[in-house]
Structure 1
Amino acid sequence: MEGTWDEAVRRACRLAERGLGTTSPNPVVGAVLLAPDGQVVGEGWHEQHGGPHAEVMALRDAGERARDATAVVTLEPCRHTGRTGPCTQALIDAGVTRVVVGVADPNPTAGGGAADLRAAGVEVITEPGAAATAAAEHVNRAWLTAVRTGRPHVTLKTASTLDGRVAAADGSSRWITGPDARADVHALRARSDAVLVGGGTLRADDPHLAARGPAVRRQPLRVVLDTGGRIAPDARVLDDSAPTLVVVADDLDAAARERVRSAGAELLALPRDGSGLDLVGLLHALHERGSRAVLVEGGPTLAGAMVARGLVDEVVTYLASALLGAGPSALGPAGITTISEALRLTPFDVTTLGDDVRISARVRRERS
C-alpha cells in the first residue's frame, strides 16, 4: 500500500489546484479516500473560502465507503472550529483508519490535527515520501509562504523578447507576446489575490489588470503604486470590473488624496522608502486584507525594487520569439553588481504557448 502514496498525493494535489484563486485566506487542499484494496472511493477539494473543506467533500463523495478507508490529504487536517467544524473529527466519525498527510500545517491555530487523530486511534503517516511532500508544498506554496513569513507569496511576471526587451526603442510594447500567452496571463491573474503595478506602467500602458476568460470565478484586487496620486480619472483600472487599491505616499496632501478617492478607488497611504514606497509595508497590508498570492506585473523599475528587497518568491516569464536589439530590459536596477550576487532560480515548468515560451521558476534564497 505504501507505494501508492506518491500517486495518491499527486492526485490530491491536482484536486487542490482547482481551488486556486477562490480559497484565500485559507489554503487550497485536496483529499482522496482509498479503500483497503487501494481503489479510490471518494475525493474532494476546498472549493471556496467559507465552504466545506476537502476532507468533508471527499467523505460526502465516499458515503459509507469511507469506513476503514485511508484518507490522503495535501495538508494536515485542521483541528479547530471556524466557519466549518474540525476535519479531524469528521474523519474520525466516518471511520477512517489511516490518514496520509502531504505537508504539516504550520498554522498554530489549525495545526496539530495529526496528534488528535492519533489520540483517537487513527494511523497517521506524515512522511509520504520526498516527491509527495514536494508536490504538496508546491500546490500550497502561496499559503505556506504567508503563514511562515507573515506576507503574501510574490510572483514576478515578465514578458519580453528573447533578448530580454519589454519594449522597443521607441517605447512601443503591444503586443510582445501572442494571444496564447496573453490568455495564460489572465489565468495567472485569476489564481492570484492581488495584481500589482507601478505608476510608470500605469501611465505608459494604462493597464486594465482584471482577469478575463470563461474559467474566471473571482477577480483579483488591482493594486497601483502611485506615489504622487497622479492617476488619471479615466484610467482603465478604475472601472467596475474588479476592486482597485491605489497606494500613495503618506505625505501626500489632502487635496491629492481626495482626487484619488473621487476617482472611485480605495486609497492606502504608506511611508516612502528611498525613491519609492515601503514595499514591505505594502505586502504586510495586503496580507492583512487576506491576500496570500500577489502577482507583480509592473515594469522594470518595480521588478528591480522587489528583487532588491528580497521580496520575490517566484518568477513567471513569457518569452516571445522575437528580437528587438534595443529598448528597456525586463528587470531594472536590483542591487546586483557582480555575477556572484545573481539571484538564482530553479525552473519547475517550461511550457510552449503558440510561438512563445513560459518559464516558471522558484527563487533560491541562497546567493552563490
Structure 2
Amino acid sequence: MEIPEQDVAHMARAVELAGRGHGSTTPNPVVGCVVLDAAGQVAGEGYHAYAGGPHAEVVALAQAGERARGGTAYVTLEPCDHTGRTGPCSRALLDAGVARVVIAVSDPNPTAAGGAARLRAHGVSVTTGVLTEAAERVNEEWLTFMRLGRSHVTWKFAATLDGRSAAEDGTSKWITSPEARADVHRMRAASDAIVAGIGTVLADDPRLTARPGGEKPARAPVRVVVDPDARTPATARVLDDEAPTLIAVADDVDTGLKADLLRLPRHDAGLDLRALLAELAARQLVSVFLEGGPALAGSFVKEGLVDRVVAYVAPALLGSGKAALGAAGVGTIGELHRLRFDDVTVIGPDVRLTARPVHPSTPRETRPAGPQPGREQ
C-alpha cells in the first residue's frame, strides 16, 4: 500500500528531530515526534533529549496543547506503555485526545512495548511501518543493543589513499587533517565507550578521550582496553582521571594491576569479543567506538561484530607500512566482508566514508543482564 506523502514528510521530520538526541539518551533510545492539529497543521514537535528527561511525545504534546485534540502524532518509535521515571506515552497521547498515531518502528523492548495495542484498544487509529528504514538508521545503536543483546560497534580508522594507517617506522601522526581529527572527537563524544587494544596502548600511550571543540564533554565515554594478559603499564595515560577506564583481561590471568578489571574468557588467542560486548551492554554502554590497531579491528570484523565502518581517507600515499585492517578471517575472494556505502563527506582535505555490512549480524535471543533499558527505567 502506498504511503501518503504527508505521512512520509512528517515522519521524515520526526526522524530528523530524533537525531538531535544522539550521545545524550543512553541507555534509552533517540526518539522524535511531530504532532498535527485536526486541520493537519503542525502544532508541536519534540525529541528525547536526555535520559531521565521528558519523552519526545510529551514534549511535542506540551507544545501543541489543546490543538493536539483530534490530531495526528508521528513517532519514530512505538510509544511506551509502562511507567518508569516518567509515565507511559500511550496514556499521554490518549489524555491529549489524539485521534491518529503513526509509528515508524515497533519497540523491541518487552518492558516498554504495547503502546500501539493500547492506543487501538481505546479507539485511536494506528498506522505502523512508515519510514521504518530511516527511523531504524537514526536509532541503530539502541536497536542493536536491544535486539542483539550487545553494544553497537562503530570501527573508525584513518588511512592514506592506498590504505596505510602508519609508515614503515610506525609513525602515524598525522595522516589526516585537523578537521578530520575534530570530527573524530565529535563522534567519540557521542559514544558510550571507546575501545582499543593493548598493542595501541603500548605503542602510542593514547588517552582515548573525547574533546569536541577542545573541551571536555559533560559525559566522558568509558575507555576500554582489550588486554588479555594484563600488560597495561601502571603509568599508562588511559589510567588517568580524565575518564573512567575498564581493562578487559583473560579470566585466567593473575595480575596486580590497580584498575577496574573486566575478566573474560579467552577466545582464539585473545578475548571472547562477544562476551566483551555483552558485558559492556550489561553496564548499559549502548554504543562502542572501536579504535586502535589493525589486529583488534580484524578480530571484530572476523566475528561479524562491526556494525558500521567510518574511514577517514587522506589524499596521500605511503606505498608501504601498516595496513588499516589485520587478518579478518578471509582466505579467498569469495569470503570478502561486503559493505554498502551510506555516506561520503568531504572534511577539510580528507574524505569520510561511512559503510555498513551488507549482511548484518543475526539477532540472538540473549539480552544484557540486569534491568532492560526502555524509554525509561
Q: TM-score range by the shorter chain?
A: over 0.9
Alignment of 1:1-368 (within 5 A): 2-128=4-130, 132-214=131-213, 216-253=217-254, 256=255, 258-259=256-257, 261=258, 265-365=259-359
2:372 corresponding residue in structure 1: none
* Distance in 1 between residues matched to 2:166 and 2:16, nearest whole Å: 36
2: distance between equivalents of 1:161 and 1:110?
46
Q: Which moved more, 1:9-18 or 1:351-360?
A: 9-18
Q: Which moved more, 1:102-111 or 1:231-240?
A: 231-240
Does structure 1 conserve the Cα–Cα contact (< 8 Å) formed by 2:309 and 2:354? yes
Check 1:366–1:53 CA distance in 2 against 1; reply closer, same or farther (3 A cut): closer
The SS at the match of 1:157 is strand
TM-score (norm 2): 0.92
1:281 to partner: Cα distance = 0.7
Instruction: Report deviation, 1:298.
Output: 2.1
8 Å CA contact 2:52–2:85 kept in 1: the answer is yes
Q: Tell me the amino acid that sits aligned with residue 4 of structure 2.
A: E
Query: Does structure 1 conserve the Cα–Cα contact (< 8 Å) formed by 2:307 and 2:360?
Result: no
Residues 100 and 348 (structure 1), Cα distance of their counterparts in 2 relative to 1, 3 Å cut:
same
Stretch moving more, 172-181 or 44-53:
44-53
| Residue of structure 1 in register with 2:374 after alignment | none
Q: Which secondary structure does the structure 1 equivalent of 2:187 belong to?
A: helix
CA shift, 1:181, in A, is 0.7
- Aligned-pair distance for 1:231? 1.5
> How many Å separate the matches in 2 of 1:273 and 1:328?
25
Q: Residue 61 of structure 1 aligns to which amino acid in structure 2?
A: Q
> Which consecutive unaligned segments of at least 5 residues does structure 2 have?
362-377
Give the aligned CA root-mean-square deviation in angstroms. Answer: 1.6
Alignment check: 8 A CA contact 1:190 1:217 kept: no
Per-residue deviation, 1:366? 7.3
Contact 2:166–2:322 (Cα < 8 Å) also in 1: yes
Aligned residues: 357
Q: Deviations over 1:199-238 (max 9, x none)?
A: 0011111111111125844221110112222222232222
3-state secondary structure, aligned to 1:18? helix
Mapped to 2, the partners of 1:50 and 1:14 lie a distance apart of 21
Q: Which amino acid in 2 is paired with 1:220? A: P
Structure 1, 231-240 or 325-334: larger mean CA deviation: 231-240
Identify which of structures 1 and 2 has the higher relative contact order when contacts are C-alpha pairs closer than 8 Å and 6+ apart.
2
CA contact (8 A) 1:22 1:217 kept: no
Rounded to whole Å, the distance in 1 between the matches of 2:208 and 2:11 is 34
Tell me the secondary structure at the aligned position of residue 67 of structure 2.
Answer: helix
Query: Offset at 1:9?
Result: 1.4
Counterpart of 2:248 in 1: which secondary structure?
Answer: strand
TM score, norm. by length of structure 1: 0.94
SS at match of 2:242: coil
